[in-house]
Structure 1
Amino acid sequence: MFAGIDEVDWASMEHAYGPADDVPGLLRGLASADPAERERALDGMYGAVHHQGDVYPCTLACIPFLFELVTDPAVPDRGDLVELLTSIGGIDLGEDDEEELDEEEAEGAANYAMAAAAVTANAGVFFSLLADEDPGVRLSAPLALAALHDDPAKVLAQLRARQAAEPDDEVRFALVEAAGRLALRHGPLAASVADWLSRLAAEANPPGLRLAALAQLARCAPSSLPEDVVSVVTGLLRKLRTAPGPGGPRTRAAEAPGTGADAAPVTLLGQVRALSAEENAGRTAPWTADLLRTLHAGLDDRVAERAALLAEQLRSPDP
């Protein structure tokens, strides 16, 4: 692993906080057996190497090594690395963004374009990750494909095939979300996606999956929503309160004081994860909040329906 990493002239490059000669240590830290070290390394990647979404020459130099990590089953937390690659390669600059750029902005735009090309060229790797043994990897792979692969029809076919075989409900929601993303990015696929989502929203499916499908229909094909969408959604929410299915999102719980992690430096990433876990504590199906936000955004100016849905949410005993 990491063949050639020491041959890269990291010291000649910079990231957000200075010389990039610490990047090899961050990359190696991503493969560490120590969870605290992995968290510090990932925090460093987002905090310096891919700071606020920026792409530097050192970010580009990391891409081959990140692909090496995500394809090695022995590396823990590879789902986090799939998300990192998706972020690095997923910046889409429109024509308006590229007009009247000064020299520094033009260099940044060129870096984004090179990152997108480099990650897209290797995006076929993500197909095999749809069936990875690690559910965290399977959770991240669908959006990576939807955002980065250059054959959207193939991606949709694979998402549909995986949906039928996937045992994890939360991953099934991610497959549905990725299909919605495809429909928004690739107009010719919108009708096929809407047809599939409408069938997933049918009564024979579990309530969580039906809600996820309705949320994505609202997002990418609102005209395909059922006329009684509010009554359907409120019925699903009531079912979920008694039979929630999957638990909350896969965020790492903060370790109790006195554990080995307690002595490790606190990272911004760790704080965000702890806040997420705290926010979701006590909720029967925490992931419904994201689905409902997507649904409300899709309903847009359908005020009466949104008001009725909000009234039902306010009556819920679930915090």
Structure 2
Amino acid sequence: MSIPPETDWAVLHHAHGRASDVPGHLAALAGADPVARRAAVSSLTGSVYHQGTRWPASAHVVAPLVALVDTPTTPDRTVVLQVLHAVAIGDRGDEELPFDQVRAFAEADRVGPSDEEAVLHVLFEQDEPDVDAVADVADAVVLRWAAAAYRAAERHAGVFLRWLRDADPAVAAHAAALLVWFPRVPGLAGALADVPCGAHEARASAHLALAHLPGPLGSRELASLTASSTSADEAVRVTAAVALAHRCGTALPDEALTVLAHAYERDIAAAVPGWDRSLRGQVALAVHRLGLAHITTARTAG
């Protein structure tokens, strides 16, 4: 993988100063040495995604990370995809879904390049940083960097769609968990519904993404979820029921309601790759949306 020559990393900043070290870390991610790859992941997450904060260099890291994941011979593609997710989305959790980027980044629009330069000057060029001097714009500037990273990733959403059918099921699962943050991607709901039934990890992740997309689902997506609620795979079956609970409310099919009721009374060990909330937590959230009384009735009937 080659680093775009137009990127002048020496003029960009990350959490620890100039980003001149970034090309080396990106190159190490494609290398054969597993120790060097782990070190590169640690260095990148500690610099362009430092405790959730993005920096001017963060948006420029997106394209090389996408290229790495999109190259089948790249080692640890799922790990690289997790780094990409962190850079693009930050620490946002699924409680912020469906995601509205206009609302989320509105405050970033009140600052500009001069405010960004002022914050960087205070942080990296003053011997005794006068943080108070930029206190009124600092948060908005940080949000501006986050918005730039998000929008850089959004430009590659078509590639993420292709990853839904990747030969590596973990890559496909993490791709679904990333795509849910880009709801404006044309054809997203249909692509999630079409994830192959045999790819259980990816299918379960796609179900959770369908659960959290904005707007109504079409008949194609609802039919796919309904069919999956009878799957022999527990994670596929339960996530389909969770998605139907989110999208249909108390009008969800009886089969899905029964699956959800049974899952609610058990300690589910399964997890869905790409999602921080456990499958047990996803079930609890769906039950909360339906109302406990509705689940109790379903358990009694079952």
User: Do they superpose with TM above 0.5?
Assistant: yes
Match of 2:179 among 117, 123, 145: 145
Who is 1:47 aligned against? 46
CA–CA distance in 2 between the matches of 1:150 and 1:111?
21
State the Cα distance separating 1:125 from its structure 2 match: 0.9
Could you tell me which residue of structure 2 aligns to residue 172 of structure 1? 203
Q: Secondary structure at the match of 1:163?
A: coil
Shift of 1:248: 6.6
How many angstroms apart in 2 are the aligned matches of 1:124 and 1:170?
A: 21
Check conservation: 1:163, 1:175, Cα contact below 8 A.
Answer: no
Q: How does 1:214-293 map to 2 (within 5 A)?
A: 214-226=241-253, 231-233=258-260, 235=262, 290-293=278-281
Q: How has the CA–CA distance of structure 1 residues 235 and 76 changed in structure 2, closer, same or farther, with 3 Å as cutoff? A: same
Deviation at 1:176, TM superposition (A): 1.2
For 1:119, the equivalent position in structure 2 comes to 153
Contact 2:54/2:146, CA 8 A, preserved across alignment: yes
**Counterpart-to-counterpart distance in 1, 2:262 and 2:139:** 50
Structure 1 residues 67 and 209: alpha-carbon distance in aligned structure 2, compared to 1, 3 A threshold? closer
Structure 2 residue matching 1:48: 3-state secondary structure: coil
* Counterpart contact for 1:30–1:37, Cα < 8 Å: yes
- Looking at structure 1, the residues matched to 256 and 221 of structure 2 have their Cα atoms a distance apart, in angstroms, of 18
2: distance between equivalents of 1:76 and 1:159?
26
Contact 1:119 1:148 in 2 (8 A): no
Q: Distance in 2 between matches of 1:227 and 1:160?
A: 20
Question: Could you tell me which amino acid in structure 1 is paired with residue 228 of structure 2?
Answer: L
Residue 168 of structure 1: CA displacement? Answer: 2.9
| TM-score normalised by length of structure 1 | 0.67
RMSD over aligned Cα, in angstroms? 3.7
Distance (Å, rounded) in 2 between the aligned partners of 1:14 and 1:131 = 36
- What is the identity percentage for the equivalent residue pairs of Structure 1 and Structure 2? 28
Q: Helix, strand or coil for the counterpart of 1:131?
A: coil
Aligned length: 262
Report Cα offsets for 1:225-281 as digits up to 9, x if no partner: 35686754465699999xx9xx87779xxxxxxxxxxxxxxxxxxxxxxxxxxxxxx
Note the residue ranges of structure 2 that are not aligned, 5 or more in a row: 91-99, 112-135
Structure 1 unmatched ranges of 5 or more: 252-286, 311-319
| 8 Å Cα contact 2:157/2:185 also seen in 1 | no
1:73 positional shift? 1.0
Deviates more, 1:22-31 or 1:91-100: 91-100
C-alpha distance in structure 2 between counterparts of 1:131 and 1:228, whole Å: 28
CA change 1:89–1:230 in 2 (3 A) is same
Provide the C-alpha distance between the structure 2 equivalents of 1:158 and 1:230, rounded to a whole number of angstroms: 25
Q: 1:120 to 1:168 in 2, by over 3 A?
A: same
Tell me if the contact between 1:83 and 1:144 (Cα under 8 Å) persists in the aligned partners: no
- Give the whole-Å Cα distance in 2 for the aligned partners of 1:54 and 1:191: 40
